[in-house]
Chains A and B, each alone.
Chain A
Amino acid sequence: MATGAARRGGSRLAKQFAEKLTLSSSVGAQNGGAMGSPWGVQSGVGAGNELIPFGVRYASNQAVRNRMRSVKNIQKITMAMKMVAASKLRTVQVKAENSRGLFQPFTALLGDAPAVMGNKTLVVTLSTDKGLCGGINSTVVKYSRSLLKLNQLNGEGHDTKFVIVGDKGKAQLQREYKKLISTYITETQKVSINFTQCAMIADEIIKSSEYDVIKVVYNKFNSAVSFLPTVATLLSPETLAGEEAQKIGNLESYETEGAETQGEVLQNLAEFQLASVLYNAMLENATSEMGARMSAMDSSTRNAGEVLDRLTLSYNRSRQASITTELIEIISGAAALEG
């Protein structure tokens, strides 16, 4: 009867074992003497009388089989997530590359001034809404934090505020800097990213806070395995008209038309620049998200495969051991009868 139970690897075996263990603990206390040795002497379960350490957990075959099934399911899920991310990557990558042509003329016209730190800095952190995408959100948050610290080093009067796009960035930054966050923007990928959406976000940012410099922190898509954290610097219209910026850019050489003053044109220009840079940054970040998710899910699938291999080996070993034990009992029983 015991052998049959062993073959089924049932939980009944484990339960009997557990009962015997608790029984033997009282026996062991008496036998083990003053030291209270945890070893107890048992009989019956397993192959003959053996000293089995008190508190060992017997991984029954059923339990191992359950674990194998769940690991296999996880492997299937992560494989599917990788395929989905790969297909989404293709579409977003095309859009991201097409959008690069939009903001580059601005850099040519107004120059790129990463060192300009005004009195009021706005850090726009782009992160993802969904997780399971590797370390890209942590890098963006790390950069945003160091931008804040850099600005704080400049002393009093240098304010920094955050605008956070994406749930993951929000979760990480709101713990420490809840008071510094001016706006949250989430669920940007419910409809696919388009320029109108970014124009509205740019509008919202400009309306809700004054600033001298905007720093947009995002992951630039370099290739399917490399995502570079990037900071894009944008100056407000007032700073643009100021002396420092004029030296860097080409703005001076242009006549302006189309509005009353150059200030008005600069205002429109700065808004359009923010919208274009945001559009490109959001697309690059989305592409990086897909790429990172693809590689994270790929390594998950591979790890799940390895765990499954190990579990299968140990399952087979224990199964073969119990079959061998049964055979030995039968054969020795038969030999005893003969002899």
Chain B
Amino acid sequence: MDTFRLRVIAPDRIIFDSRAAEVILATNTGLVGILPNHAPLLTGLDIGILKIRTNELWSVVAVMGGFAMVHDNDITILVNEAENAKEINLQEAQEIFQLTQTKVSQADGRKENIEANLNLKRAKARLDAIQEGIKEGTAS
């Protein structure tokens, strides 16, 4: 089976360093799927989820922005912060999501608004990650 080398690196640790068959990235302009032998690509990543397929199993990671570089069957993804879906608790993620939603509606002023929206995005990414993870059967 065709695979490429995938590295997902956060400032404090390496999240993933191995071979994968497919990866789906959340870029600023939408979802992008990368298969082996992809053309060289450099793209920025938005706050969202990253899905990695190894041996027919999808694993899900919530990422908080970063960059992806694809070159010669070697993909390097640098992220500001990342959380594996396995490490996220569904209950907790839902509670945090609702909390951030109320904060957004209560936000007053431009700065607070932007901050609240950012937190909402992050909470949504985490919630999506755990929900996708459950769907794919790789997280609980």
Chain A residues with a Cβ under 8 A of chain B? 95, 98-99, 101-102, 105, 109, 194-196, 199, 250-251, 253-259, 265, 268-269, 272, 276, 279
Contacts and interface: CB of A to CB of B under 8 A. Distances in A.
Interface string B28-59: 11001000000111111100000000000000
Contact of A105 (B10, B11, B12, B76): B76
A337 B43 CA distance: 107
A272 B76 contact: no
A47 to B, nearest CB: 72
Contacts of B76: 105
Contacts of B66: 272
A272 B67 contact: yes
Closest 10 CB pairs of A and B: A195-B11, A258-B43, A258-B27, A254-B42, A257-B43, A258-B44, A258-B28, A254-B40, A105-B76, A101-B9
B97 to A, nearest CB: 21
Q: Indicate the member of A251, A257, A269 with the most B CB atoms within 10 Å.
A: A257
Contacts of A98: 11-14
B71 interface: yes
B114 to A, nearest CB: 14
Query: For chain A, what secondary structure do more than half of its interface residues adopt (helix, strand, loop), or is it mixed?
Result: helix
A275 to B, nearest CB: 8
A105 B27 contact: no
Q: Indicate the member of B13, B28, B66, B78 with the most A CB atoms within 10 Å.
A: B78
A258 B29 contact: yes
Given A258-B29, A259-B28, A279 B42 contact: no
A109 B13 CA distance: 21
A95 B11 CA distance: 9
Size category of the B interface is 20 to 34
A276 B78 contact: yes
Query: For chain B, what secondary structure do more than half of its interface residues adopt (helix, strand, loop), or is it mixed?
Result: strand
Contacts, number: 75
7 contacts: A99-B11, A99-B12, A199-B80, A255-B42, A258-B45, A259-B29, A272-B66
A96 to B, nearest CB: 11
B82 to A, nearest CB: 11
Contacts of B43: 256-258, 265
Nearest to A251: B42
Contacts of A258: 27-29, 43-45
A335 B117 CA distance: 102
B69 interface: yes
B12 A109 contact: no
Nearest to B81: A195
A102 B78 contact: yes
B107 to A, nearest CB: 21
A256 B39 CA distance: 10
Contacts of A272: 66-67, 78
A259 B78 CA distance: 17
Given A258-B27, A259-B28, A253 B44 contact: no
